Amino acid sequence: MTASSKDHEVDAVVRRARVSSRRRQLLDAAVAVMERTGFHQMSMQALADEAQVSVGLIYKYFDSKEEILLDAIVGILEAFSDQLAPAMEAAGEDPVDRIAAGFDRYVRIIDANRHAVALTYRESRTLPPEGRARIMELEVATAAPLRAAVESGIAAGVFAAVDVDLMVYDLVMLAHAWALKHWHFGRLYDLDTYIHKQLRFAFNTLIPVDGRGPYQHYFTPELT
């Protein structure tokens, strides 16, 4: 590779990083504005003021408010997809530890994006059918590692023969509740305690009483 081509490659990487950073800045600003006013009341001028940019610059990155909303939601779902499986893989082969690691990572991503997660529930119905379909596909993909761990645990006799769809849905909703009901749970628990208590709740259903010996640390009333 010549020096000139190397320079072009470096320039391209820098440009991509700048675009990604600017889009992230605008999406974060959009979430902040929509949290205050809702999606329909958000104007491009209000978004520009929040991000401290010009309205014209916003249109260099997004064609419409609907695209901004969709990208804000997709960004959260992609973070789940990108981080959940590696966290569960790092926990080893035990399905209990894998569920615990996946749920822990899920809630921590939600904690870092509480307002955006709440926004997803409130405003996603505003999107056109293709946008809603993309979100549903990403939600299914996001939950796939949790589903695989539940199925593996049932097959190994570690978990009770629960309804897998309901169990995975319950785990996801318990995680999302940290954002949706943070006004309540945030006053009662710190993040680690919330994760521990909700895992204990889930494992009370998943793990039969006579099989809990190796997993007693998940059943303690408080974190140890």
Domain CATH code at residue 30 = 1.10.10.60
Tens-level pLDDT at each residue, the chain (224 residues):
665 655 455 445 445 656 678 888 888 888 888 878 888 888 899 989 998 989 898 999 888 888 888 888 887 778 777 888 899 999 999 999 999 999 999 999 899 888 878 877 777 788 888 888 888 888 888 899 999 999 999 999 999 999 999 999 999 999 999 999 999 999 999 999 999 999 999 999 999 999 999 999 999 887 65
* Residues 182, 196 within the same domain: yes
* Residues 128, 201 within the same domain: yes
Contact 203, 218 (CB under 8 A): yes
Return the amino acid letter for 157: G
* Total of domains in the chain: 2
Q: Which of 25, 28, 65 is nearest to 45 (CA)?
A: 65
* Residues 57, 68 within the same domain: no
Residue 7 parent element (H or E): helix 3-37
* Residues 52, 72 within the same domain: no
Domain membership of residue 223 (yes or no) is no
Rounded CA-CA distance 107/180 in Å is: 12
Tell me which residue range forms the domain holding 100: 64-218
* Residues 57, 70 within the same domain: no
* Residues 31, 98 within the same domain: no
* Residues 185, 80 within the same domain: yes
Tell me, rounded to whole angstroms, the distance of Cα 78 from its chain centroid. 7
* Residues 69, 11 within the same domain: no
* Residues 49, 125 within the same domain: no
Domain membership of residue 186 (yes or no) is yes
Of 16, 36, 62, which marks where a domain is finished?
Answer: 62
* Residues 77, 176 within the same domain: yes
* Residues 142, 54 within the same domain: no
| Dihedrals phi, psi of 147, to nearest 5 degrees | -60, -45
Rounded CA-CA distance 178/18 in Å is: 32
pTM of the model: 0.79
Rounded CA-CA distance 51/206 in Å is: 46
3-state secondary structure of 128: coil
Q: In terms of residues, how long is the chain?
A: 224
Rounded CA-CA distance 136/127 in Å is: 12
Rounded CA-CA distance 74/162 in Å is: 30
* Residues 94, 14 within the same domain: no
Domain membership of residue 224 (yes or no) is no
